[in-house]
Structure 1
Amino acid sequence: MNNSMHIEHPRSVHRRGFRAWSLALAVVIGAGSVAVNAQSTTGHVFGMAPAGQTITAKSTTNGLNRHVKVDDKGRYTLGALPVGVYTVTLEKDGHAVEQRSNVKLVVGRGINIDFTCPQGGCAQSTGNE
């Protein structure tokens, strides 16, 4: 009987070690898949617009509303937007100047939307022409 106890003890230690490694591996694999899933559920909008103006993207799917200023070279990017349908608007002094509706963001992709400001509705603030 003593011999059988002696033999079972190392096995139970071995089994606990195996369970610990299995659990650790499952956590690592699970964490990796969470990160991949988080990255794969967004898209982005980018483009050119008059410098200093504001671009707003409003989701018609979930109500999310994000905005960004156009940089001094006339570029903008609204990144990490959840996939869905958006209305993207060029704004000057808080008022809509130009708008694009039904912009569909696809997983992992970007959509280029350039704004030109019709009838000189928003003069560029850089003076470089």
Structure 2
Amino acid sequence: MKTNKKLLPIGHQHQTRRYALKFMTAIAVSAFGAIALNTAYAQSTSSSIVGKAPTDSTITVHSDKGLTRHGSPNSKGRYNLSALLPGTYLVSLEKDGKTLATVQGVPLFASRASEVDFACDNDQCTGSFNH
């Protein structure tokens, strides 16, 4: 019985396997790179509003896109409202359900924090945006 199958030299089969392995490695590295790029891009689109405020208060931010978030200062009077989308924000200092001070038009850019500080002297509270 005769077969018309051509036999390839052993070196050629080894070379073909090597190219196939390199090709599959390149595909895997490309896929991983695409996933890593998307993850890095997603992380770079949010930012924070940080600052100082009286420890017994609440900080509320309202974005021009309808987002509202609340946070409280820590024991040192520092607060950090993170994972906010870029836009323009109204930042309020509140205590016992009353708004004591507001800072309007706080811009927030991707991967950059904006600082808004509040201070209270007696019953008068003021806020300031630090560029």
Q: Which amino acid aligns with 1:45?
A: I
Offset of 1:8 from its aligned partner? 7.3
1:22 to 26, 41, 53: 26
> What do residues 52-101 of structure 1 show as CA deviations (whole Å, max 9, x unaligned)?
2110111112x221111111211111122111111111111222211111
Contact 1:46 1:76 in 2 (8 A): yes
Q: Does 1:111 align with 2:76?
A: no
**1:5 positional shift:** 9.3
Aligned to 2:80: 77
Q: Is the 8 A contact 1:52 1:72 kept in 2?
A: no
Instruction: Give the percent of matched residue pairs that are identical in Structure 1 and Structure 2.
Output: 31
More helix by share: 1
The alignment's TM-score, normalised by the length of structure 1, stands at 0.78
TM-score (norm 2): 0.77
After superposition, residues 41-56 of structure 1 pair within 5 angstroms as: 41-56=45-60
In the alignment, structure 1 residue 59 sits paired with structure 2 residue 58 = no
- SS class of match (1:114): strand
Distance 1:53 1:121 in 2: 14
The alignment partner of 1:116 has SS state of strand
- What stretches of structure 1 move > 3 A for 4+ residues in a row? 4-16
Measured in 1, the distance between the counterparts of 2:43 and 2:16 equals 41
Aligned-partner Cα distance in 1 for 2:45–2:88: 13
Structure 2: tracts of 5 or more residues without a match: 126-131
| Bigger RCO (CA 8 Å, 6+ sep) | 1
Of residues 71, 93, 101 in structure 2, which corresponds to 1:90? 93
Aligned pair count?
Answer: 121
Secondary structure, aligned partner of 1:67: strand
In the alignment, structure 1 residue 39 sits paired with structure 2 residue 17 = no
Larger Rg: 2
Partner of 1:127: none
Show structure 1 runs of 5+ residues with no match. Answer: 123-129
